Amino acid sequence: MLAVTCRRYGPPEVLKIEEVARPTPKDDEVLVRVRASSVTSGDVRMRAFTGAGIFWLPMRLLFGVLRPWNPITGMEFVGTIADVGKGATAFRVGDVVFGMKIGGANAEFLAVREAGAIAPKPDRLNFEEAAVVPFGALSALEFLRDFVQIKPGQKILIHGASGAVGVFAVQLAKHFGAHVTGVCSTANAELVTSLGADQVIDYSKTDFTRGPGIYDAILDTVGGTSFSRSKRVLAPYGRHVFVVQTLTQLLQALWTSMRRGKRVIVGFSGGDSKEDLLLIKGLIETGRIRPVLDRTYRLPDIVDAHRYVDTGRKRGGVAISIGAAP
């Protein structure tokens, strides 16, 4: 089968299209014939190995010290079940599914634990649309529910509201009954409004700390803010939650956890919950949330896709169309 490989860390040009062995599903796995995948901000950070900060060493030990342990890139997938392991009973050959697995999705075939983050594809989405759902939606759900601990009536400010995580964070926060203010560029203001944001702040024109709002929570999906500035508009006992963490934010989280009042929260999204993926699927099928597909690239154009995501200017997600061999 054809797959995108990353055999050393570096710029997009380290990526290659190679012929590799088709995986054989273990007893508790299913084999997915991949029709579409994606390139996320997480993919480009793992390829270049940037943004790990103080977690550089443990992340290297987890993903590969000198080179990635799993050379096949990609984490989001959509496709059809091609084979099932002896003990797998949840899916049958021919079922159309979508899901998330760290590593291996930018390939024609992918073996996935049937108990992992894999579920029937929402009928109302095509392959490319479904391919840009799991990473952003699961991350947004976990951070809002588990770290922000969002409640109806709360006021929340979302930085990076037009990104892969941000577009779902805006919609899910509204679904949970919050008043949402999204921060984005001029070009993306209309999009963020269409997703349900009650207010949009154009960061190129307005300093969010000088606006009229006081927020119960601030969710930074891109790592572009600081607690020292944000606390000016954070309510007493409010939470400033970071999706992308630095040493400073970790120390602030430790310090504020020992004090009463405003808090910094850092966390990680596992992205491997079947229950959460089924929840997201249901919200899509009922029209409560929707993906935002920016661009679609073919598998041979994977380097161009990584270059584009590296710019930090994408809206929502970037899909990779994969024509699996029979």
Tell me the three-class secondary structure of the chain, residue by residue: CEEEEECCCCCHHHEEEEECCCCCCCCCEEEEEEEEEEECHHHHHHHHCCCCHHHHHHHHHHHCCCCCCCCECCCEEEEEEEEECCCCCCCCCCCEEEEECCCCCCECEEEEECCCCEEECCCCCCHHHHHCCHHHHHHHHHHHHHHHCCCCCCEEEEECCCCHHHHHHHHHHHHCCCEEEEEECHHHHHHHHHCCCCEEEECCCCCHHHCCCCEEEEEECCCCCCHHHHHHHEEEEEEEEECCCCHHHHHHHHHHHCCCCCEEEECCCCCCCHHHHHHHHHHHHCCCCCCCEEEEEEHHHHHHHHHHHHCCCCCCEEEEECCCCC
Across all residues in the chain, what is the average pLDDT? 89
Stated pTM of the model: 0.91
Q: What is the pLDDT of residues 208-219, one digit of tens each?
A: 888 768 999 999
Token code pair at residue 49: 């190995």
Query: Tell me, what's the pLDDT at 176?
Result: 98
Q: Domain coordinates of the chain in residue numbers? A: 2-133+291-321, 135-266
Residues 68 and 60: beta-carbon distance below 8 Å: no
What is the fold of 2-133+291-321? Quinone Oxidoreductase; Chain A, domain 1 (3.90.180)
Q: Helices 134-142 and 274-285 meet at what angle, rounded to 10?
A: 110
Query: Tell me, what's the pLDDT at 326?
Result: 41
Per-residue pLDDT 10s for the chain (326 aa) are 999 999 998 999 999 999 999 999 999 999 999 999 999 998 998 888 765 555 555 555 555 556 667 899 999 999 999 999 999 999 999 999 999 999 999 999 999 999 999 999 999 999 999 999 999 999 999 999 999 999 999 999 999 999 999 999 999 999 999 999 999 999 999 999 999 999 999 998 988 888 768 999 999 998 777 777 788 888 988 888 888 766 565 666 566 666 677 767 677 776 789 999 999 999 999 999 999 999 999 999 999 999 999 999 999 999 999 974 44
Q: How, if at all, do strands 109-113 and 263-266 pair?
A: unpaired
Query: Tell me, what's the pLDDT at 19?
Result: 98
Query: Tell me, what's the pLDDT at 121?
Result: 99
The domain at 135-266 falls in which architecture? Answer: 3-Layer(aba) Sandwich (3.40)
Query: Tell me, what's the pLDDT at 323?
Result: 75
On the CB side of 65, how many CA atoms lie within 13 Å of its CA? 1
